[in-house]
Amino acid sequence: MPKRIVLAYSGGLDTSVLVRWMTEEMGAEVVALAVDLGQGGDWDAVRARAVAAGAAEVEVVDARNEFASDFVAPAIRANALYEGKYPLISSLSRPVIVRHLVDAARRHGADAIAHGCTGKGNDQVRFEVSTRALAPDLDVVAPVRTWGFTREDSIDYARKWGIPVSATKANPYSVDQNLWGRTVECGILEDPWARPPADVYELTVPRNAGGQPKELIVTFEGGSPVALDGQPMPLDELVPALDAVVGPFGWGRIDMIENRRVGIKSREIYECPGALALLLAHADLESMTLERDVAHEKSRLEPRWAELVYDGLWFSPLKMALDAFFAETQRFVTGDVRLRCEPGTAPDGTGSCFVAGRRSAVALYEHDLATYTAADRFRHQDAEGFVRIFGLGIETWATKQGPGSQGPGKQGTGKQGTGQPGTGEAGPGQDRAGQGMAGRPAVTPPSPAPAPPGSPGLGEPAG
């Protein structure tokens, strides 16, 4: 049995009971480690509770800045949304907690770390896999998985040992929170058909119904948000500041059925107005600044990154390799995104937040190429040859095998094209844009001479 254990201490009911339980049942000395990730709360009370529960040592670590810069910022760079929706609020926090657990274990000469997760969730996976990645020699103790306590048992146990816990038997929800957002599970939410009652929400309570819209500018540098409305701000302050602006519009909620790593589907409510607004803004700025192939390849890899992090593989070679790729893509993701929040008209006050504009000194958006005005400097005459060669393979296929062709079993003329064999050049007297193969009309009819830029008649004024 481990003699000294560093416990990931939240200050809540289960981990408070755990302090006493491991002391009594395992004869261990418990170091309670609480990590401030921006969840709010009274850290003096948390400290006092750990002491009351019998902790040999208590530490509170302020890891907000580290969490934001080392965990949240990479998630923004990766546009990370698990199953396309969930911004990994809890998933990002466990590896940073483990970093501090391992550090404390070394400092206190502990032989194990402990967590208060159940056997049905993802968090146990994240705690344990991360610990094994950073410190394979440490044991992991997880009594909540097997001790068989109901919530009522835990409350009774806390009372018996004089541990002051605020939980009452009536509080139905399980909540996890940090500066990236808030997660809510259990209670009536376990019925996927039930609409979440208003009391599950804290960060997105509509307060601006019937009020004025609001615009704000998020500035990014190298893929990371660095300022709000021109005011430079570290990320751990910027996210809550954005929460405070966007949340009152009643925007930033997610209601999803999610696939946990342990094979269970669960109903989850998330509130993360700031996180969703930043992800929206970041992805939008990338659309201005990333070259097409990079953008497309990146979007293929993003869901994989989110899945790895969700699955507890923060400290893994594939996730680190993807980080390196994403970091390389972010060099020019610099500029401003204008977000606009509008109050809701629905009776429940649910409003909206969307991108109203973007600008970047290194944008690949070129007005003179995109415009349909006289400023146009796109070389229209080059389009003809480009499109013709681009479509050449399809034209060949259409002639020989396509729906309208004289394929096998159909009556054919047996004639081949009249161009010079093997050169791809048009034959004598034959315009390149003229007759196509086998005497059939070419797919593209001859084009008129290019009209001067900006004149009407260039075709559809659309991409």
Output the CA–CA distances (angstroms, integers) from residue 36 to 26, 64, 153, in the order listed: 28, 6, 28
Work out whether 39 is an interface residue with ligand ARG (CB under 6 A). no
Work out whether 176 is an interface residue with ligand ARG (CB under 6 A). yes
When binding is defined by CB under 6 A, the residue of 23, 79, 91, 208 that contacts ligand ARG is 91
- CB closer to ligand ARG, 258 vs 342: 258
Alpha carbon distance 190, 210 (integer Å): 33
- CB closer to ligand ARG, 79 vs 91: 91
Number of residues interacting with ligand ARG: please give it, by CB under 6 A.
11
DSSP state of 417: P
When binding is defined by CB under 6 A, the residue of 15, 183, 219, 334 that contacts ligand ARG is 183
- CB closer to ligand ARG, 68 vs 333: 68
Work out whether 342 is an interface residue with ligand ARG (CB under 6 A). no
Binding segment for ligand ARG (CB under 6 A), chosen from 36-44, 121-129, 318-326, 428-436, is 121-129
Work out whether 336 is an interface residue with ligand ARG (CB under 6 A). no
Site mask for ligand ARG (CB under 6 A), range 402-441, x = bound: ----------------------------------------
Alpha carbon distance 77, 65 (integer Å): 17
DSSP state of 68: I
Binding segment for ligand ARG (CB under 6 A), chosen from 104-112, 115-123, 131-139, 190-198, is 115-123
94 catalytic? Reply is: yes
Cβ contact 424:395 at 8 Å: no
Give the three-class secondary structure for 113.
Answer: strand
Cβ contact 358:284 at 8 Å: yes
Cβ contact 274:246 at 8 Å: yes
Helix axes 89-108, 123-134, angle to 10 degrees: 40
Alpha carbon distance 409, 337 (integer Å): 59
Binding segment for ligand ARG (CB under 6 A), chosen from 99-107, 116-124, 203-211, 454-462, is 116-124
Tokens standing for residue 334: 């610099």
By CB atoms closer than 10 A (0-12, 13-18, 19+), residue 362 is exposed
Residue ranges in 58-77 that form contacts with ligand ARG under rule CB under 6 A: none
Work out whether 177 is an interface residue with ligand ARG (CB under 6 A). no
Pairing status of strand 4-8 against strand 29-36: parallel
Tokens standing for residue 348: 């429940």
Alpha carbon distance 101, 30 (integer Å): 12
Residue ranges in 230-269 that form contacts with ligand ARG under rule CB under 6 A: 258, 268
When binding is defined by CB under 6 A, the residue of 23, 122, 124, 224 that contacts ligand ARG is 122
Q: Which of 10, 14, 16, 99 is catalytic?
A: 14
Alpha carbon distance 454, 461 (integer Å): 10
14 catalytic? Reply is: yes
- CB closer to ligand ARG, 176 vs 376: 176
Residues lying near ligand ARG in the complex (CB under 6 A): 90-91, 121-123, 174, 176, 183, 185, 258, 268
Which residues are catalytically annotated?
A: 14, 94, 123, 174
